[in-house]
Amino acid sequence: MLSCAMAPPRGMEQLASLLGVKVALDGFVKTLDEKVCSTETDVPGIYVCGAVEGPKDIPESVAQASAAASCAARAVMKVAQKPTPALLIDEEACGKCGLCVVSCPFEALSIDEEENKVVVDEATCRRCGLCATVCGPGAIELPNNERMQISQQIQSILKDGSGALHPLVLAFCCDECGYSVLDSVGFQRKRYPPGIIPIFIPCLSSLSIHHVIEALSLGADGVLILGCLEDRCHFEEGAIKARSKVEFIKLLLRELGLLENKANILMLSGNMTQDFVSKVNEIADRLRRVKT
Ligand code: SF4
Ligand code: SF4
């Protein structure tokens, strides 16, 4: 098919820099994922559609416009309805150390000096869960993703599933690309080892080392940490933080005399289904050899 070359309009870079959105190498606006998140930019509340993201025809632009409008409506409703608080902060347990405040990538936390307590800006908080993982006394919980709830999932999978499936691998998957890649694998009816059992968390930045160790000590043959590509993390730093946590876990396993390759990390975009299948097969083969 013949088609004319298309370049981004003049002024595109200035507009992008004014809004704080990233521009790809070809000069068009960079979205979080051109296949599964093609309207979302890395700036919350800014969505794109049409040729600003790259060359496309009118029907595709109109479909993308509907998706962008729906994303914008969802974002507004989330703030307006406030169905649950962004965070649960236990004021008595909090020592006001400020670690959560400096760790938040979105500057959503502050310490109210007069009230002597940590306050969260509900509209700015993206519910990534990073602050909960840095708080020593465990004073912060992410509603619906509380530490105990994740622990209970781990315990129930390992209680019901251990022995029947091997290798049994608990996969901590982010709700963004981790979820999308598994969804696409299922949709495409691709097969992968049945012992890979997902546990969903909002972002890899909310991954708790405690939960990984808990899974291994309760008998999981391995853990898989599955999330977005580093430059596509929906919460900016999640994938980078997860990589350093995995390095730390491997070090810990080495120190304990356990196999460090029990902990694996995969960073994929939602459409990388074949990469997912071949990598999890490799991981399962490796763990199977250890088991026998
Ligand atoms: S990291 Fe925990 S203890 Fe420190 S200020 Fe934040 S909530 Fe309080
Ligand atoms: S959940 Fe994420 S965005 Fe919200 S305050 Fe904690 S670190 Fe910041």
The dihedrals phi and psi of 92, each to the nearest 5 degrees, come to -70, -35
Average pLDDT for residues 185-213, to the nearest whole number?
91
Going by pLDDT thresholds of 50, 70 and 90, the confidence category of residue 83 is low
pLDDT the model gives residue 139: 94
CB 28 within 8 A of CB 21: no
Side-chain half-sphere of 162: how many Cα atoms within 13 Å? Answer: 15
| C-alpha closest to that of 227 among 249, 209, 208, 200 | 200
pLDDT the model gives residue 88: 92
% of the chain beyond a pLDDT of 90: 35
- Does residue 144 or residue 280 have the better pLDDT? 280
99 lines ligand 1 (CB under 6 A): yes
Tokens of 212: 């990984």
Question: Is 90 exceeded by the pLDDT of residue 281?
Answer: yes
Ligand 1 binding pocket includes 85 (Cβ within 6 Å):
no
Ligand that lies nearest to the alpha carbon of residue 109, given by its number in the listed order: 2
Per residue in 129-184, pLDDT tens?
989 988 999 999 999 888 999 999 999 988 865 667 789 999 999 988 899 899 99
What integer pLDDT is reported at residue 110 of this predicted model? 95
Ordered by where they begin, the domains of the chain are 12-81 (no CATH), 88-141 (3.30.70.20), 147-291 (3.40.50)
- What distance in Å separates the CA atoms of residue 165 and residue 17, rounded to the nearest whole number? 51
The Cα–Cα gap between 132 and 140 comes to 5
* Mean pLDDT taken over the chain: 86
* C-alpha pair distances (Å), 81 with each of 78, 84, 123, 143: 6, 9, 11, 16
Percent of the chain scored above 70 by pLDDT? 93
Greater pLDDT, 120 or 289: 120
What's the 3-state SS for 233-276? CCCCCHHHHHHHHHHHHHHHHHHCCCCHHHEEEEECCCCCHHHH
Question: d(Cα 184, Cα 46) in Å, to the nearest integer?
Answer: 25
Atom of ligand 1 nearest to the CA of 131: 1
The pLDDT score that the predictor gives to residue 272 is 92
Angle between helices 209-217 and 147-161 (to 10 degrees): 20
Instruction: Tell me which ligand sits closest to the C-alpha of residue 206.
Output: 2
User: For residue 223, what pLDDT is reported?
Assistant: 93
Parallel/antiparallel/unpaired status of strands 169-174 and 222-227: parallel
List, in order, residues 6 or more apart from 181 with CB less than 8 Å away.
226, 268, 269, 270, 271, 272, 273, 276
**What is the CA(205)–ligand 2 centre distance, in A?**
10
Distances (CA, A) of 69 to 3, 46, 96, 161, 243: 28, 10, 40, 42, 34
- The per-residue pLDDT for 255 is 78
Contact 250, 210 (CB under 8 A): no
Q: In this structure, which residue's CA is closest to atom 4 in ligand 1?
A: 97
**Count of CB atoms within 10 A of residue 88's CB?**
14
Average pLDDT over residues 211-240: 84
Return the minimum-mean-pLDDT range out of 176-190, 197-211, 226-240, 262-276: 226-240
Q: Compute, in angstroms, the gap from residue 101 CA to the centroid of ligand 2.
A: 9
Point out the ligand 1 atom lying closest to the alpha carbon of residue 140.
Answer: 7
pLDDT at 189: 93
Predicted pLDDT of residue 211: 92
How does residue 43 score in pLDDT terms, banded at 50, 70 and 90? Answer: confident
Q: Which residue has the higher pLDDT, 276 or 12?
A: 276
Ligand number, closest to the Cα atom of 93: 1
- Take atom 8 of ligand 1 and give the residue whose Cα is closest: 94
The predicted model gives 83-105 an average pLDDT of 90
- 260-283 as b/e, with b when 16 or more CB fall inside 10 Å? bebbbbbbbbbbbbeebbebbeeb
- Which of 91, 97, 208 maximizes ligand 1 atoms within 8 Å of its Cβ, making it the mutation to test the pocket? 97
Element (H, E) at 214: helix 209-217
**Residue 118 Cβ contacting ligand 1 at under 6 Å:** yes
Count CB neighbours of 48 within 10 A: 22
CB-CB contact of 262 with 169 (8 Å): no
- pLDDT at position 135 is 93
| ipTM greater than cut 0.95 | yes
Q: What is the pLDDT of residue 291?
A: 53
3-state secondary structure of 27: coil
First-to-last C-alpha distance (Å) of the chain: 55
